Amino acid sequence: MKIIDKQTIRIPVILSFALVLFSVIVYLFFSYFRKQELTSYLQITAINRAKLIFEKNVNPKQFSDADRDLKESAYLQEQFTYYDSLGNVVYKSTNAIPHLTPNILKKVLSQKIILEKDEYERIFFAYRENKQSKLYIFEASAYDTAGFNKQTKLLYTLVFSTLILIALMAFSTRYFIRKDLKPLGNIAKRMKSISSKNLQNRIPEADLDNEIGNMAHTFNELLDRLDAAYTQQRNFVSYATHELRTPLAILLGNTQVTLMKTRNTEEYIETLNNFELDINNMINLMNSLLELARMNADSQSVPFTDVRVDDLLWQTSGIVKKKKPEYKINIEFADMPEYDEALIINGNAELMALVFRNLMENGCKYSPKQEVEVKILFDENNIILDFVDEGVGMSAKEMEHIYEAFYRTEKTKEISGHGIGLPLTKRIVEIHTGTITVKSVEGEGSTFRVSFPIKPLS
């Protein structure tokens, strides 16, 4: 069921219920007050008559004229009867029908005022006449024509206005909900039209300063992220193709040039050595790309063991230096660990070695001194490694992009590299629930800080 249909039923139903309840309460209170007013009127008039008869010695027959008027009165049909203490009628108004039964007589004698009701409101009460000390029973009753008329009119008014209000509520609720939800329909239509081909399209959000506007804004932010990821993915493929095609084209060119004439053994050896270098370069790139793809797709299956960080740093620096003897890598403890186990983290040694190698090689590769310093520090829960170099550095803008695949800064384009190392490094650090940050000043150098959570003491 649509929200609009649900709400246009639910809200009016709740409000109608409240309205009906309100009308019923108004009606019941009116009826109660009408009755109360009439009985107190009857009581006062009857007592006044009793006083006139017994205290002012007015002959009850004198009421006859008044009673006739009362009978004709369409508004309040009053009747008066009074009895002696045995229940015999002493006087009754013209139209009155006596109602005193032995049972009522008994009750009147003990309780003084009795209320009875058929279609008339009726009261009975006992009156003791002072002089002769005689007891009389008074009966006064009336049919509240005017009151009942008012009550019926009130009932019609309430039913009529309740029905009108319910209809009004149903229509206005539907109108306003439809009006408020209309932008949602437009947004849904725009959303439908967005696909990978037009990820730059956005849904309108400017005119809506409410939840729907908020949702549109959040959706646009999601599109921003998707667009960025999609563009990155597209670039990734084209960069990867480019990175592989260029050395292959060079290889092909070199092969064709070499084959143009017969060469001596030294020339063949030199050409093949160059080929080996290029092929190794390509193998490295392919391996990095495969590793990056694997880390993005299947990081869950990476096996973790206890890894001692300082040992792994030393081993890795040995491997890097063996490949590039000109690189200087200094590893030092800037803090001393409080206990030996603080050097152990739960991780994958092979992948962590890849992180250390990338950062050590970059530090050396991008600094004229070809030197990197690795500082080991600690905080309460983490082991922190700073890779500090005094190299070419990066601008703030460049630092924003270095974790994107194939990104390389202008200054370093001449130096060999593919721009895969840092994205891979970042992914591996994330898999180890660590963090990587960089601080850099152009022309002065860079510091990459990697932090891994220490394995808790068991």
Minimum gap (Å) between residue 394 Cβ and ligand ADP = 5
Structure tokens at 154: 């009130």
263 binds ligand ADP (CB under 6 A): no
392 binds ligand ADP (CB under 6 A): yes
- Nearer CB in complex with ligand ADP: 284/346: 284
Minimum gap (Å) between residue 396 Cβ and ligand ADP = 13
Which residue has 């990587």 as its token pair? 436
Q: Which of 203, 363, 434, 436 binds ligand ADP (CB under 6 A)?
A: 363
Of residues 270 through 329, those in contact with ligand ADP by CB under 6 A are none
Q: Which of 321, 408, 449, 455 binds ligand ADP (CB under 6 A)?
A: 408
Phi, psi of 457 (to 5 degrees): -65, 135
Minimum gap (Å) between residue 288 Cβ and ligand ADP = 8
Give bridge partners of residue 116 from the DSSP assignment.
122
- Nearer CB in complex with ligand ADP: 31/412: 412
Helix and strand numbers (H, E) in the chain are 10, 12
Structure tokens at 382: 């983490």
* 336 CB neighbour count, 10 Å cutoff: 8
Minimum gap (Å) between residue 364 Cβ and ligand ADP = 9
Element (H, E) at 337: none
What separation in angstroms does the CA of 346 have from each of 271, 315, 335, 425?
46, 18, 21, 17
Cβ atoms 125, 137 nearer than 8 A: yes
419 binds ligand ADP (CB under 6 A): yes
Q: Please count the CA atoms within 13 angstroms of the CA of 368 that sit on its side-chain side.
A: 4
50 binds ligand ADP (CB under 6 A): no
385 binds ligand ADP (CB under 6 A): no
Q: Which of 79, 141, 173, 362 binds ligand ADP (CB under 6 A)?
A: 362
Cα 41 to its chain centre, rounded Å, is 62
Q: Which of 31, 232, 274, 412 binds ligand ADP (CB under 6 A)?
A: 412
232 binds ligand ADP (CB under 6 A): no
C-alpha to C-alpha distance for 380 and 453, rounded to whole angstroms: 9
Q: Which of 34, 49, 122, 418 binds ligand ADP (CB under 6 A)?
A: 418
List interacting residues with ligand ADP (CB under 6 A).
358, 362-363, 366, 389, 391-394, 402, 407-409, 412, 417-422, 446
